[in-house]
Chain A
Amino acid sequence: MTDTDGAARRRSVLAVVPPARPRKLAKVPFVELADGRLQGVVSSGSDIERVYVSSVTAGSHAYHCSTNNNRPCGGLRGAPCKHLESLADEAVLQYGVDRVARYLRVDAGEGTQTGVELLSRLDARHEPTSAAVVFSRFLRHLAYLELPASTTVLPELHWFPSTGAGR
């Protein structure tokens, strides 16, 4: 016997990643749990050309926010700024609070519903990181929408059925 016995053990098709839940993208066009961080891009409320790059690192809970040109966010005054709060709220909408908490390695506790509430449970500290990696991931993300549609058959997608009807 192995320690992997269970219902999923010999199934080829099962939803390991629940589909992202729909949310409005205008304020926070990009959120992801990747590179060991909750990270994303928040549109500036005042300047349509400007975006903020915000992130929280899993485990250490170090956070940072800056413009995509690495200019530090003026809203960081010993606590997460409103961009980080928006990022966390939208992440919870997109992934659910449990998945975000698990990734960041924080105990969500009973009754935590929003990203702001989750942020308040972190023993967070500010630590500058470069915006370049996250911003380039955002640009790559956008570039998917520039790829042309295709008639190439992808037999591998039989492992990935669309799911979640009527959600």
Chain B
Amino acid sequence: MLGTQLAQLRDGTPTGLTDADDVVAGFDDALLRGFARVGEQDAAALTALADAVVGTPLGERVAEAVGKVTAGSVGQEHLAALAGARSALLGAAHDALLDQLDTALGRHRAPWTPTGAAGDPSPARAAARSWLHETALAGWRGIDHELLSAVGTPVEAALAEPQSRRLAVLLDGFAAELRAGLPVATMAQVPVRRWADLWSRAVLLAQDGPAPVPAIERVTGRLLPLGVDVHEHETAVQVQLHAILEPADGTPPRLVRVTVGAAKVATIGGPAVWRLLSAYPALLTAIAQRRALTVTDLPAQDGDLHWVDGQAQVGEPADPFATARVLLGTATATALPPLDRHPVAIAEPVLLEGYTVHDDAAAIDLDGHRLAVALDRLPAGGPLTPALVAASSTCLGLIRWDDGRWLLQPLAVQATVKRRPVEAHNGDWADGVTDPKVAKAESRAGDAVAVLRERAGRLLRR
């Protein structure tokens, strides 16, 4: 990435973004107080949301929903309309921001190709809709222990349905956060945008209507890793590898993602999470040793390769920085499905070289252009630390957007420490911790996975 591209990002804020953001913020504040009794200010905010989607297919439904909410008789279908309108606004913000980024980077993006399939009604989703309805009535301020204990039913039911896994994992992480916030009235700061985001997404995932599923293709070729992005809450971990696929059929290189994940518990964290992914040895080896993979006939959709470890072979060493230098400029990206679009989903791989680091690594400067660094996205299960970022001059990362600004999330850096060149990647410990000091601390803490499995073996199957 060049300084001039950063300047393009800074100067080209999409038209209407601020207005959309204000409308969403008004809705978010209303959800803090809840929909059981809507005051004048919140009624105005909801009307602004309806006005924002006038003339769209959502228009009439949202207007009706706003009428019902302000009259104090909101049903589940009205909440779905409101969550839909909010998500449509943020989806549009996502599209405009990503377009700006693609233009600056010169990145080509293949469109999303829709196909339709009817989803079966599910008891888990029905239970979730009912819980989300009660939560919206209460508002964040009105949430109590009883309401949070009631989330157990939909979470347990959704965990048991493979097609509701997204909903289950979202509700579980969301409820844990609300629980930690109790009593919300004494919270120093209520994260209203974040909680409204999570609530809205959950409402959409809890609908039974026809779910659009994109066409599934099969791909064969050479996969060159760029870096891994690690996601984690108390009961889930997900590793997303960003990579470039060189298809065997000679078509242009593609920017793709490989995602694997596992359920966990709060007391399993840090480097131990990699051990929960031992079902994917080829993938973990390639990540840890920075090697290419040959993949054969892997299912793919929307830029996501659906990993089948047996259809992948670990190949020759492949330096992610070299891959980025040679291929990142020309690889084609793919658009996300519409319902997944939200500024939080923007995670575009970029390479930055020759910058200086400022403000304790909170920002970098490239040719006089600043970019904030998302230091809170450095995972606990890898060697990358703020100190290494501070000592770096080359970074492979993801460009993200949050709260009105662009950010760089480092996935790997090249740095100089005590006059020696060092390199660190988020996935370096995928096959086991390579830093002796960290390994020692880990073994002192003991093997959480083993202890809990022993307890499970003794107590669960009785």
Interface residues of A (CB under 8 A from B): 2, 4, 6-17, 19-20, 22-26, 29, 32-36, 43, 48-49, 51, 58, 94, 99, 102-103, 138-167
Shortest beta-carbon contacts, A-B, top 9: A165-B378, A157-B231, A162-B379, A36-B145, A166-B385, A162-B230, A162-B232, A142-B456, A147-B263
CA distance A156 to B180 in the complex (A): 19
Flag if B145 contacts A16 (CB, 8 Å): no
CA distance A81 to B170 in the complex (A): 37
Flag if B402 contacts A11 (CB, 8 Å): yes
Flag if B230 contacts A154 (CB, 8 Å): no
Decide: A149 near B262, CB < 8 A? Known: A14-B191, A158-B344, A165-B386. yes
CB neighbours (8 Å) of A29 from chain B are: 451-452, 455
CA distance A125 to B277 in the complex (A): 45
Flag if B380 contacts A160 (CB, 8 Å): no
Query: B264 — nearest CB in chain A belongs to which residue?
Result: A144
Flag if B166 contacts A10 (CB, 8 Å): no
CA distance A148 to B446 in the complex (A): 23
CA distance A8 to B347 in the complex (A): 21
Flag if B277 contacts A149 (CB, 8 Å): yes
CB neighbours (8 Å) of A138 from chain B are: 459
Q: B262-280 toward A: CB 8 Å interface, digit per residue (1/0)?
A: 1111110110010011111
Would you call B382 an interface residue if the criterion is a C-beta within 8 Å of the partner chain's C-beta atoms?
yes
Among the 9-residue stretches B125-133, B181-189, B351-359, the one with 4 or more Cβ atoms under 8 Å from chain A is B181-189
Interface residues of B in 316-375 (CB under 8 A from A): 336, 340, 342-345, 347, 374
Q: Which of A49, A51, A166 contacts B387 (CB 8 A)?
A: A166
A-B contact pairs, 13 of them (CB 8 A): A9-B192, A10-B404, A17-B234, A25-B448, A25-B452, A139-B460, A145-B449, A151-B308, A155-B340, A162-B273, A163-B377, A164-B380, A165-B385
Decide: A158 near B231, CB < 8 A? Known: A24-B445, A25-B451. yes
Query: B198 — nearest CB in chain A belongs to which residue?
Result: A159
CA distance A148 to B162 in the complex (A): 11
Flag if B166 contacts A154 (CB, 8 Å): yes
Would you call B399 an interface residue if the criterion is a C-beta within 8 Å of the partner chain's C-beta atoms?
no
Interface residues of B (CB under 8 A from A): 21, 25, 29, 32, 41, 145, 148-149, 152, 156, 159, 162, 165-166, 169-170, 173, 176-177, 179-182, 186, 189-194, 197-198, 201, 205, 229-238, 240, 257, 259-267, 269-270, 273, 276-280, 304, 306-308, 336, 340, 342-345, 347, 374, 376-382, 384-387, 402-404, 409, 445-446, 448-449, 451-453, 455-456, 458-460
B212 CB, nearest partner CB in chain A, Å = 14
CB neighbours (8 Å) of A23 from chain B are: 267, 445
CA distance A92 to B336 in the complex (A): 42
Q: Which of A10, A13, A154, A163 contacts B25 (CB 8 A)?
A: A10
B24 CB, nearest partner CB in chain A, Å = 8
CA distance A2 to B177 in the complex (A): 23
Decide: A10 near B460, CB < 8 A? Known: A4-B190, A22-B269. no
Flag if B460 contacts A163 (CB, 8 Å): no
CB neighbours (8 Å) of A153 from chain B are: 240, 257, 259, 304
Flag if A25 contacts B267 (CB, 8 Å): yes
Decide: A103 near B344, CB < 8 A? Known: A11-B402, A144-B264, A158-B231. no
CB neighbours (8 Å) of B193 from chain A are: 8-12
CA distance A22 to B269 in the complex (A): 7
Flag if B32 contacts A4 (CB, 8 Å): yes
